[in-house]
Structure 1
């Protein structure tokens, strides 16, 4: 039996709650530091990771957005959020769990939720690192954007996918 399919390796997906925030914020910063290293320089990663310090924003995410988490051995290995029924705000997967279909499973559940809520499309502001994933899911780029975080410029992409 392949160890990835054994019962002790089973990933579960559930709705996120406030108690998940410390782990989500840690996963956010670790993923930016490791997975995004080839696409953003150190100064950019530091600026981007500073978003984890905004406790008010993270509380708003958990209270106002539809949040899904992927859990393995009682540890969050990924999460995705849906804001305003049609905007993917956050999608982050632990560096040790990339390429295991976790992002695809989270994304599919988020897309299903958007369709259930009668959304006509999904939008996201996507990093250079995540752009190929979103393209594979049927998103197309509306425009490249230059965003400023703590006076540091980062490139991302406004992307959209028609659902209906």
Structure 2
């Protein structure tokens, strides 16, 4: 992204589909490797990124979850998924589009969908990197957790937000 781009790029948001999967997987891995590198070790990042290899899991995400993608200049620059109407499974924004309001736009549409489904709470398992964003949009930490991925422990947080219906 060049320096002439405003702080709030004009992104369009649409429902994601199976044709988006390869671009989503690349964004997932690149975001973890670049954006989260100050919060996790190299081995932790590699273990986390390896989640992209689980094609069955990602096909299930695309098939079963409510998924939104943010598009800028014909490129996916962010995505967010909602599982069972009340669990934010994934929320990632491209490394070059951080701090431009894209995560907020995606999140608010996901929250709107949860409210539409009459859910009382939203929950998420949130990385160290994403914790402050989720706190800003009203989530509270329920507990710190250790997740083991391919023999490597990663810290994250179970977070929750009460929704106003």
Q: TM-score range by the shorter chain?
A: over 0.9
Alpha-carbon distance in 2 for matches of 1:160, 1:14: 25
Superposition pairs of residues 1-164 of structure 1, within 5 angstroms: 3-4=5-6, 10-164=10-164
**Normalised TM-score (structure 1):** 0.95
Runs of 4+ with deviation above 3 angstroms:
none
Helix, strand or coil for the counterpart of 1:23? helix
Alpha-carbon distance in 2 for matches of 1:116, 1:52: 30
**Normalised TM-score (structure 2):** 0.95
Give the gaps of 5 or more residues in structure 2: none
Q: Number of residue pairs matched? A: 161
What's the offset of the Cα at 1:68? Answer: 0.2
Alpha-carbon distance in 2 for matches of 1:54, 1:72: 27
